[in-house]
Homo-oligomer: A and B are copies of this chain.
Amino acid sequence: MATSTGRHDGGAAATTPTAAVPPRDGPRRADARRSIAAILDAALAALGRGPEINMAEIARAAGVGRVTLYGHFPSREALVDAVVAHAIARAAEALDQVDIDTGPAPAALSRLATTSWRILDQHRQLMAAGQRHLGAARMREHHDRVMDRVRKLIGRGQADGDIRTDLPTDWLITAFYALLHAAAEDVNAGRLDPARTGDVLAATITAALRPPA
């Protein structure tokens, strides 16, 4: 898989049937790089809203022809795969922008929630879509790479006595992401004020993860 090159071959045909794609993975033209970026962005937005993709719609949203799309991504599976990789990079970038290693863990979790609930929710939506179109195996690996930061942060909080230890750690991570996602969903539905969302999330999460009295 993953040929994804020019594919023109125009007039003369059928002289060399095998390996008809000249510049395999050499540096693309500026033109092509622009198209790829537009497709990736459009597909990310589309998949972030729901898993009902449609190659034609994605191409239209990217301002690109359907044939061009197939020229770069040989199948829907390849497209989704590339979009996931793209989103992982963005999510990791968002997580890097938050200082996680200093101060009490609950405060760090609050900072994380306050600044990144939006992109992290988009990430989750994409995971659901990717799970349907790709295998759960490939998803799991990527997802865990981002998830591990939160796991370590929670572990640190537990060692410091700032986070409860009477419940499974995996469940605390799940609860963290679930609340993040729920807040994003409520904002999308107009039930929650985006301006308040950060504080609301911080208050709820710290309360849920605080050691019981």
Contacts and interface: CB of A to CB of B under 8 A. Distances in A.
Given A175-B182, A178-B179, A167 B208 contact: no
Interface centre among A185, A208, A213 (most CB of B within 10 A): A208
Contacts of A96: none
A25 interface: no
A200 to B, nearest CB: 6
A31 interface: no
Q: Could you say how many copies of this chain the assembly holds?
A: 2
A212 B183 CA distance: 19
A156 to B, nearest CB: 20
Contacts of A8: none
Nearest to A52: B132
A167 B203 contact: yes
A166 to B, nearest CB: 7
A29 interface: no
A80 B96 CA distance: 44
A192 B179 contact: no
Contact of A207 (B132, B178, B210): B210
A99 interface: no
Nearest to A207: B208
A178 B168 contact: no
Contacts of A167: 200, 203-204
Per CB-CB distance, the 3 closest pairs between chain A and chain B, nearest first, are A178-B182, A208-B208, A178-B178
